[in-house]
Amino acid sequence: MYIAFPQVGFDHPAIRFVMPSDIVDDETESQAAERIAQELNGIVVDELLPGPQEWWRIANGGLVVVLPDVPPPSPTDVIAERERRLALGFDFDFGDARGVHHMDTTPEDMRKWMDEVTPLAQAYLNLGQPGGEILISTGSGAVTITALEWQQILLAASTWRQPIYQASFALQAMDPIPADFAEDNHWPV
């Protein structure tokens, strides 16, 4: 039996056993293995390889690949997924001719929200000018908003972000964290 491995390592998910259905035209099994290995940018192994971990065993008279255990998800993995989801942004409906705009929420966008737009909106509000205009750029394009509308956007952002944080905290507290923690069923939609 031949086994085609990708060059990146023996624990890569692209490990392929060469099956009779892989053989095309007049190829031999070894030629099919070579072709598949080239497709994987890898190598062909047709004998047991000694190593520090037992990745091989004989079962029912055949060679079986035994891959190292994949570590369970960690709180750090959940935090990374949370940050990915927080960066996706949300839609805000102005309720007028401006329509719905996608509010970008990458870390850079959020820095600009807090360093540039929020202080300007607050200055207008402090001066008693809730209608003071601010030009912002959203994922949908440029739009002029008022200082008071910016406060509404901040509240909408909080309403959208808080459930993501809550899901993250709940997942991090689980022991063990589910392997499918990144699937939508664990997060608000």
Question: What pTM was computed for the model?
Answer: 0.65
Contact 140, 100 (CB under 8 A): yes
- 70: in domain: no
Same domain, 108 and 163: yes
Residue 172 lies in domain: 75-186
Same domain, 96 and 153: yes
Same domain, 58 and 134: no
- 159: in domain: yes
Same domain, 28 and 106: no
- 30: in domain: yes
Averaged pLDDT in 10-residue chunks for the chain of 189 residues? 44 53 72 64 47 42 50 94 98 98 98 97 98 98 99 98 98 96 95
Domains in the chain: how many in total? Answer: 2
Same domain, 40 and 84: no
Model pLDDT, residue 33: 64
- 131: in domain: yes
Model pLDDT, residue 85: 98
Same domain, 83 and 172: yes
- 97: in domain: yes
Model pLDDT, residue 50: 47
Same domain, 30 and 121: no
Model pLDDT, residue 28: 75
Same domain, 22 and 98: no
Same domain, 24 and 86: no
Cis peptide before 71 (omega within 30 of 0): no
